């Protein structure tokens, strides 16, 4: 199955099963936040389209935002814990060893911005899943990581879903 077929089938499922939209948003955000899985699942594109469906299909907006935020929180948490478990040796293992420049940039980003890198990284493509993993590898403290993780997940979910939901609602009136 190619990426377009996956996107189309997911959106058709959301249209047919509106009550499941928050759970679907959570699953997509989770996939987007897991280090390796985020490379396979085109979750950002699908979530943008889900935002548009929310506006056009009469699905409640806030439960979908909460679902997406919870999925992102769990995905980043697992990536962080996996990185913490692997420790500094993770940089010599797949997939980090295949992308040494990106890993070095993300590591420098974390060293420069500290816990703010967790919140900022969520909004930048490949860094979205790599920053939590490297935060764990580098031994960032759990509580500051989780505070940034939770706060930024809700902002990210709103920013991702609101444009489609708001624009289609506005144009529909």
| Cβ within 8 Å of residue 94, ≥6 positions away | none
Give residue 49's domain range. Answer: 3-172
Nearest to 56 by CA among 14, 109, 106: 14
Number of domains, the chain: 1
Instruction: For 104-142, write each residue's pLDDT tens digit.
Output: 888 999 999 999 999 999 998 767 878 999 999 999 999
Instruction: For 71-91, write each residue's pLDDT tens digit.
Output: 999 999 999 999 999 998 888
Kindly list the distances between the CA atom of residue 71 and the CA atoms of 10, 32, 43, 101, 173, in Å, as whole numbers in the listed order: 16, 9, 11, 28, 31
């Amino acid at each position: 199955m190619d990426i377009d077929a996956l996107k189309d089938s997911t959106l058709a499922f959301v249209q047919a099963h509106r009550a499941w939209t928050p759970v679907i948003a959570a699953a997509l955000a989770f996939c987007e936040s897991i280090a390796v899985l985020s490379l396979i699942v085109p979750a950002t594109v699908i979530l943008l389209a889900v935002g548009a469906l929310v506006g056009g299909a009469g699905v409640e907006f806030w439960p979908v935002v909460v679902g997406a935020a919870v999925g992102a929180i769990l995905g980043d948490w697992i990536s962080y814990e996996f990185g913490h478990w692997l420790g500094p040796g993770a940089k010599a293992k797949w997939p980090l060893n295949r992308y040494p420049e990106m890993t070095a940039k993300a590591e420098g980003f974390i060293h420069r911005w500290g816990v703010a890198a967790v919140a900022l990284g969520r909004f930048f493509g490949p860094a979205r899943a790599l920053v939590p993993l490297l935060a764990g590898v580098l031994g960032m403290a759990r509580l500051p990581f989780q505070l940034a993780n939770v706060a930024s997940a809700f902002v990210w979910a709103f920013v991702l879903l609101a444009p489609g939901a708001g624009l289609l609602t506005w144009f529909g009136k």
